[in-house]
Amino acid sequence: MRVLYLCHRHQDTQIGGLAEFLYFLPSALKAWQVEPYIYTQSVNKNDAQLSGPILLDNCVPSYSGPFLKPAFFPSKKSLQPLLQLCHHQQVDLIHTQGTYRAGFMAMHIHKHTRIPYVVTSHSDILTINSERMRRRHIQGRCHRILQHAAQVTHLTTFMEHASASLCNTHLKNTIIGNGIDFTIWKNYQAMPEQNYMLAIGRLEPEKGFHVIIDAYAQLTKQKSHMALVIAGTGSVESSLHAQATRLGLTVITQFNHVFPPNSVIFTGYVKKTMKMQLFAGAQMVLFAPQPHTWEEAFGIVQLEAMAAGKVLIASDIPQTRYLQTKGLQAALVKANDIDAWTMQMLRFINDATLRQSWGEKNRNTAEQFDWRNIAKQYYAVYQKAIGLQQFC
């Protein structure tokens, strides 16, 4: 089975949760004789030619080219490079990452080739994240994309409900969470705790790092000897530095694996070994998305905290509540309630037994999200999609 993964943003194959999705899932599916390919929009959006393949670190060939812009009369020229790729590689199935852009392109490929497509709903369909999703004609376009999809998958029940508001696809829905490489995380689960808390992700306003810093500043007044580690890069990095300095905290931007109290340590973007070591040494992980400005589709940080065997303090959002039904142990707080964040930090600092107990439960629960298990679920969806297409 030859599967083409369609993602309209080129950078999403390099940094972030979707990048990990496109790295691990295609690799894991090779165990089921799935031959994967990836197609993304060119860095230069005016590029009209197909580029590639570039062999990624996971040995998956990646192509880039023009991406069809959703419109009443879409450009056939933008479709040609992908049509050629599908023909040349004899693609059996397209798996789109997102509904609006990638799904629209897959729908038009389907019209020309009858290649079935699977849509995985992401945050592009959430009205709080996208102004355009409030427009009736955009909702109608998404309805048609979902209507013609062979199968539709969702990361959480929250995303399933958001998608259902556009088109009722309950007969072809499957909820499949994000994944982790659980085997690799086992190598870090026995590392000792150190005196810091960890917050990790893109440094953007909606991720809530400003709330965490405010809460940490209050915590330091309780004579706590903890440091706060913030890992990631983004548009608000310099303003977070300024915020921490204004609050009287020491700002460290040259990370040297030392965690002095009353300090906020900015590590920059971390991955692989460094990321896992930071999770492993943390006493707790902080996950503070702000749903009034942006809704998370899943939040892979939560899975990573589980795999590392860590207790989690998280914003009270539907995605985290869904993971609680799967066994996640987390203290939920109102996303922008600084006092509540401080109280929970202090609670876990003072109770090592509770940290250990919750962390152990998270570690035991995390294996269900190993990419091998996630891949098996997607393979079943792919089989349904191709089977349905045979009867169309």
Q: Which of 306, 328, 308 is nearest to 316 (CA)?
A: 328
One-letter identity of residue 96: T
pLDDT > 70: percent of the chain: 97
Task: Tokens for 148, please give them.
Answer: 């013609």
How, if at all, do strands 227-231 and 263-268 pair?
A: parallel
How far apart are alpha carbons 216 and 383 in whole angstroms?
49
Determine contact, residues 60/27, Cβ cutoff 8 Å. yes
Task: Tokens for 192, please give them.
Answer: 């000792």
Task: Write the class of the CATH domain 182-368.
Answer: alpha beta
Average pLDDT of the chain to the nearest whole number = 91
Give the start-to-end residue ranges of the domains of the chain.
Answer: 2-179+370-390, 182-368
Determine contact, residues 117/150, Cβ cutoff 8 Å. yes
Q: Is the pLDDT confidence value at 11 over 70?
A: no
Across 205-283, the runs of DSSP E, i.e. the strands, are 227-231, 250-252, 263-268
The burial class, CB within 10 Å (0-12 / 13-18 / 19+), for 73 is exposed
pLDDT of residue 349: 96
Q: What pLDDT digit, counting tens, does each position of 176-186 carry?
A: 999 999 999 98
How far apart are alpha carbons 300 and 307 in whole angstroms?
11
Q: What pLDDT digit, counting tens, does each position of 328-356 carry?
A: 999 999 999 999 999 999 999 999 999 99
Ranges 16-25, 75-84, 327-336, most confident: 327-336
pLDDT of residue 125: 87
Tell me how far CA of residue 139 lies from CA of 127, 145, 164, 242, 296, in angstroms. Answer: 10, 10, 11, 41, 20
Question: What's the CATH number of domain 2-179+370-390, 3.40.50.2300, 3.40.50.2000, 1.10.3720.10, 3.40.50.300?
Answer: 3.40.50.2000
One fold for 2-179+370-390 and 182-368? yes
Q: Is the pLDDT confidence value at 287 over 70?
A: yes
One-letter identity of residue 40: T
> Which of residues 216 and 134 earns the better pLDDT score?
216
How far apart are alpha carbons 263 and 391 in whole angstroms?
62
| 3-class secondary structure, 196 | strand
Q: Is the pLDDT confidence value at 272 over 90?
A: no
How far apart are alpha carbons 162 and 164 in whole angstroms?
5
pLDDT of residue 12: 52
pLDDT of residue 16: 60
Task: Tokens for 27, please give them.
Answer: 């690799």
Tokens 């999809």 locate to: 149
pLDDT of residue 124: 86
Q: Which of 355, 290, 312, 291 is nearest to 198 (CA)?
A: 312
Average pLDDT over residues 268-294: 93
Q: Is the peptide bond before 53 cis (omega within 30 degrees of 0)?
A: yes
Q: Is the pLDDT confidence value at 51 over 50?
A: yes
One-letter identity of residue 378: Y
Q: Is the pLDDT confidence value at 15 over 60?
A: no
pLDDT of residue 131: 83
The burial class, CB within 10 Å (0-12 / 13-18 / 19+), for 114 is exposed
